[in-house]
Structure 1
Amino acid sequence: MSVLSITRLDYNSANFNQQLESRLNWDSTEDLQIHQRVMEIISAIRKCGDQALIEFTNLFDQCHFNSASELELNRELLEQAWLNLPRAQALALQAAATRIRAYAEQQKLQSWQFTEADGTVLGQKVTALDKAGLYVPGGKAAYPSSVLMNAIPAKVAGVGELIMVVPTPHGETNALVLAAAFVAGVDRVFTIGGAQAIAALAYGTETIPAVDKIVGPGNIYVATAKKLVFGQVGIDMIAGPSEILIICDGQTNPDWIAMDLFSQAEHDENAQAILISPDAAFLDQVEASMNKLLPEMERSEIITRSLLSRGAFIKVNDLNQAAEISNRIAPEHLELSVADPESLSLAIRHAGAIFMGRYTAEALGDYCAGPNHVLPTSGTARFSSPLGVYDFQKRSSLINCSEAGAKDLGKISSVLARGESLTAHARSAEFRI
C-alpha cells in the first residue's frame, strides 16, 4: 500500500483562504435525470397508490409482493427480533436507548402563558405532531443507532403515531434494525424504501398513512424525494457527507486522533476529516499513525479516497486561530482534544456537536452518549441544530384579550392598519374599542 500523504494547509500562507475553500467544496450537483425519475415516482404514487408502491418495491428491491397488506411487519415480529438478539447486542441496544431517551426528556418544550395588567392573556401552546415517518436504510446495511436517534425523540415528544419504512432487498430484513424499532416504540413498520416510500409517507396510499414530517437518512433518491415533498410534509434536513474536525494541542495520543479521523472518512469517499493543530510535529505523528493503522481498516480504500480528496491538516499559530477556522467551517462533528476544552468551547459558535476532551471520541456520540447523531452538515450548523424532541413539536400562539386590552390594542392596530390601507383590518379592531 502506498504511503498516505494528507494535504497540508498553513494559516500563515498568503493563499490560505483560497486553499481552505477549495478543500471544503464538494460536488453536490443534482443529477437532473435522478430528479426527473423521482418526480415520476412521486407522481405515480399519488395517482395509483398501493398499486404503484408494490410495482416499484418489487422492481427496485427484487421482492415478490402481491398485495399491500404484505408490506407491513407486525409487532410480534419486531418483538421476536428483540428477544432473539445475542445478549451483548441486546444490552448495548437497551443501554443506548436509555441514554438517548434520558437526554431527549430534557429537551421537551412546555406550554406557557402570562397575564398582563389589564387581564389580557398571552402565551404559547406546545403540541406534538400527529404522525411522523422514519426512513431507515435496509438490506445488509444495519443502522439500529439511526432508528434510536430518530424514533426516541419523536416518542418523547408525544407523536401520536410513528411510521417506519425500511426496504428489504430480496426480502432480507435486519434483526438489529427491527429490534431497535421495538425498543424505541415504533408503532408501524413497512418494508418499502426509496423515493416511493417517501412519496407514500408524504401523500399516503390506501395502506400507508400520510404523515406530517419525514426524518431519517437515505441515498440520493431518498434525499431528492424529501426535497420534492417538502411543503406537503416537513422534513428533518438534507444531509451532506459526514464531517469531523479535530482541534488538538498536540498532547493527545496520535493513534487516537488518527482513528477518530478514520471514523468519519470510512463513511464514503466524500466524507471530510480535518485536523487543526499549532504543533507541526504532531501533525507528522498523526500522519505516521494513519499509515500504520490504515492497513488494519476493513474500509481502507474508502478511507484513503476520502482523506486524499477532502482531508486536510491545518497548521495554526494557536488555539484561538483554530477556533476561528472551525467557526468558518461550521463542522458536523467537532472534537476539542485539548487540555482545557471548556475554555476553548466558549470560542466555538458553529458546530453540530462538540466533543470535549481527549477521552471523548466522536464515535461515542454516534451510538450511545445521549445527544442526537442527526446533525447539520456542509456548514449548515451556522443556522441549524441537531435533531431533537423540538423537531416533533409545534407551537401555537395564544391571545386572549380582555375588554380593556382590546381597546388599547385596537387603537394601535387601527393606526397601523390604516397606514397599510387595510380598512377592514382597522374597522375590525375599531369595532371593539
Structure 2
Amino acid sequence: MLRTLDLRQSDLADPGSLLPRAELDVEAAVEVVRPICAAVAERGAEALLELSERFDRVRPEHLRVPAEAMQQALAELDPTLREAVELAVRRRRQVSEAELGTARTEVELAPGALVAQRMIPVRRVGLYVPGGLAPLSSSVIMNVVPAQVAGVESIAVASPPQAEFGGLPHPTILAVCALLGVEEVYAVGGAQAVAMFAHGVEGLCRRVDLVTGPGNIYVVAAKRLLKGLVGIDSEAGPTEIAVLADAGADPRLVAADLVSQAEHDPSAGSVLVTDSEALAEAVAAELAVQVSAARHGDRIRAALGGPQSATVLVRDLEQGLVVVDAYGAEHLEIHTADAERVAARVRNAGAIFVGPWSPVSLGDYCAGSTHVLPTGGAAAHSSGLNVKSFLRAVNVISYDRDALRLVARHIEAMAEAEDLPAHGAAVSARFA
C-alpha cells in the first residue's frame, strides 16, 4: 500500500527533493478564489449566502449563529464528550499560560538608555474551523484558548454551514464555542470566510486583524491572496505524519498511527522512515489488516497510496535523522531505542511525539500542545499556532540626554556611511 523509497545508497546531498510530498498548486487555487473574495468585498452578506448555496448546498437562515442555537448545542452535548472537551481545554490553557511568559522585558544598556519590549495582543482575530470531511471541533480549542490567554479582546469563529443541521455549523463545534464563551460565530465556510474576516461585511462582521486556523486548499489560497490586508498564521497544507522507527518498534502501533493521519484526507501524508526492512514489511502487513477494517477505508487507501506517502529505507538512524529533518514533518513520531535522546537531535518538526505512548492522536486532542502546525516542510522555519501567534513584540525606546550623547557620533558616522545625512542631523540638532 505504501510505496518504498530506498535511500540507503544515496549520499543525501539534497534529500528534500527525494522525499514524498503532497501535490498542492496554491497559485492555481488563488485564481479560483480571487472572484470569490472580490464578491464578498463588493456584495457582502448577499455574496456569502450565494456562495453557501453554491459550495455548501445550503442557504443559512442566519449567517451569524443565534446565541440560543449555541446554548442548545451545549446543552445537548454528550456528557462523555463534554468531559473530554473540558479536559482538553484545561490542558491547552495550562500549556498556553506557560507559553505566555512575561509581558514586558527591559534592558538598560547604559545609564539612562533603556530599551523595553512589550508583548501586545492582537485586538481582533477571526478563527477558521473546518467542517468538511471531519468537523474539527478540537480546532476550536486550539484556536480559541491561546487567543484568550494572549488577551485578544475580540474573537470571531467561522465554520461551514451544514445542510443536515439546518444551515448551522456542526453542533459539536457550536457547543465547544459556547463552552469557551465565544459568542460571535458565523455559518460561513471556505475562502468566503477568510474574505469576510479580511474585508469585513457591513451589518454582519467587523474586519479582523488576524486570521488563523487550518482549512482546505481554497482556504489556504484565500489566506495567500489576502495576506497584507489581514495577518495570517500560516498557509497550512494537507496534514502529514512521519514516523522514525528502528527494528524494535511495534509494527502494529506504527501502522495505527500512519492510518490515523491518513484518515483525515485523501491528500494526507503518511511517511515511515526506518533502517529495518523487517519492520517495513511488518508495518505493510499491519496496514493491510487495519485499513480493511477502518470506517474510512477508501479515504485511507487513497492517502497511503498517493505520492505524498511512502516507506523510506535508510542505512541507519543517523541517515534517518537527516531524512526527517529534510522532511520537516507536521507531526514526527520517534519509535526507537532511547527515543528521548533521538528526539532531542531533531531540528525540524511541527511537534515531536516521543516513544510508543505519545501518539499523534494525543496531540490532536488532550496533550495540551497545539495541533495547528506547519506542514509541507515549513517546520524548518515556522512554529505551530500558540499564544505568541496572537501577540506582537513592540520595542519601547527611552533614552535621556546623556545616553543619547554617548552614541551620537556613532549614529552620525553610520548615517553618513549610508548617505542619509539627515538621520545624523536629527541627532546633532539636539545638541546644537
Say if 1:139 and 1:172, in contact at 8 Å, map to a contact too.
Answer: no
Q: TM-score, normalised by structure 2?
A: 0.92
Residue in structure 1 matching 2:154, options 154, 161, 165: 161
Question: What is the alpha-carbon distance in structure 1 between the residues aligned to residue 281 and residue 60 of structure 2?
Answer: 56
| Cα pair distance change 1:401/1:101, threshold 3 Å | same
Does 298-307 or 345-354 show the bigger shift? 298-307
CA gap 1:59/1:122 in 2 versus in 1, 3 angstroms: same
SS of the counterpart of 1:9?
Answer: strand
- Indicate the residue corresponding to 2:363 in structure 1: 365
* Cα distance in structure 2, aligned partners of 1:14 and 1:132: 46
Q: Which moved more, 1:49-58 or 1:260-269?
A: 49-58
Q: Structure 2: which amino acid aligns with 1:87? A: P
Q: In structure 2, do the counterparts of structure 1 residues 138 and 242 end up closer, same or farther at CA, with 3 Å as the change threshold?
A: closer
Give the one of 335, 357, 374 matched to 1:376. Answer: 374
Q: Sort the Cα spacing of 1:9 and 1:15 in 2 relative to 1 into closer, same or farther, 3 A.
A: farther
Give 1:49 shift.
2.6
- 20-29 or 95-104, which deviates more: 20-29
SS in 2 for 1:72: coil
Asked whether the equivalents of residues 353 and 375 of structure 1 are also in contact (C-alpha less than 8 Å), the reply is yes
How far does residue 341 in structure 1 lie from its aligned partner after superposition? Answer: 1.4
* Contact 2:15/2:326 (8 A) holds in 1: no
CA contact (8 A) 2:52 2:161 kept: no
Correspondence 1:111 to 2:104: yes
Q: Tell me: CA distance 1:241–1:57, structure 2 relative to 1, closer, same or farther (3 Å).
A: closer
Q: Shift of residue 172 of structure 1? A: 4.3
SS in 2 for 1:313: strand
Q: Output the amino acid matched with 1:347.
A: R
Hey, what's the Cα distance between the residues in 2 that align with 1:360 and 1:200? 38
- Does residue 192 (structure 1) correspond to residue 185 (structure 2)? The answer is no
Partner residue, 2:117:
124
1:253 matches 2:265:
no
* CA 324–36 in structure 1, closer or farther in 2 if over 3 Å, else same: closer
Contact 1:137 1:167 in 2 (8 A): yes
2:82 is the alignment partner of 1:90:
yes
Distance change (3 Å), C-alpha of 1:411 and 1:232: same
For 1:239 and 1:262, locate their aligned partners in 2 and report how far apart those are by CA, in whole Å: 20
CA offset digits 1:147-204 (Å, max 9, x no partner): 1111111111010100011221331432211111122332411111222221111011
Overall identity of the aligned pairs, in %:
34
What is the CA-CA distance between 1:80 and the residue it aligns to? 2.5
Which whole-Å CA distance do the structure 2 matches of 1:18 and 1:423 have between them? 46
Note the C-alpha offset of 1:270: 2.2
- What is the Cα deviation at residue 222 of structure 1? 1.7
Greater mean deviation of Cα atoms: 301-310 or 345-354: 301-310
**Structure 2: tracts of 5 or more residues without a match:** none
User: Residue 401 of structure 2 corresponds to which residue in structure 1?
Assistant: 403
Q: Which residue type is aligned with residue 52 of structure 1?
A: A
Aligned equivalent of 1:52: 47
Partner of 1:335: 333
1:281-296 alignment to 2 at 5 Å? 281-296=278-293
| Distance in 2 of aligned mates of 1:317 and 1:255 | 23
1:40 aligns with 2:35: yes
Residue 37 of structure 1 deviates from its aligned partner by 3.9
Contact 2:22 2:238 in 1 (8 A): no
Q: Helix, strand or coil: the match of 2:406?
A: helix
SS in 2 for 1:168: coil
Q: Distance in 2 between matches of 1:402 and 1:15?
A: 58
In 1, the alpha carbon distance for the partners of 2:127 and 2:20 equals 30
Work out the CA distance in 1 between the residues paired with 2:408 and 2:42.
49
Please state how far the C-alpha of 1:36 moved relative to its aligned partner: 3.2
| Stretch of structure 1 that moved more, 292-301 or 137-146 | 137-146
| Equivalent-residue separation in structure 1 for 2:237 and 2:56 (angstroms) | 25
Encode CA deviations 1:281-333: one digit per residue, 9 max, x unaligned.
Answer: 12211111111222101121222222222322223332222112111111111
Match of 1:74 in 2: 66
In the superposition, the TM-score normalised over structure 1's length comes to: 0.92
CA distance in structure 1 between the partners assigned to 2:224 and 2:294 by the alignment: 35
Provide Cα deviations, 1:399-427, integer angstroms capped at 9, x if missing partner: 01111011122221112112222222111
- In structure 1, stretches of 5+ residues that fail to align are none
Paired letter, 1:42 = C
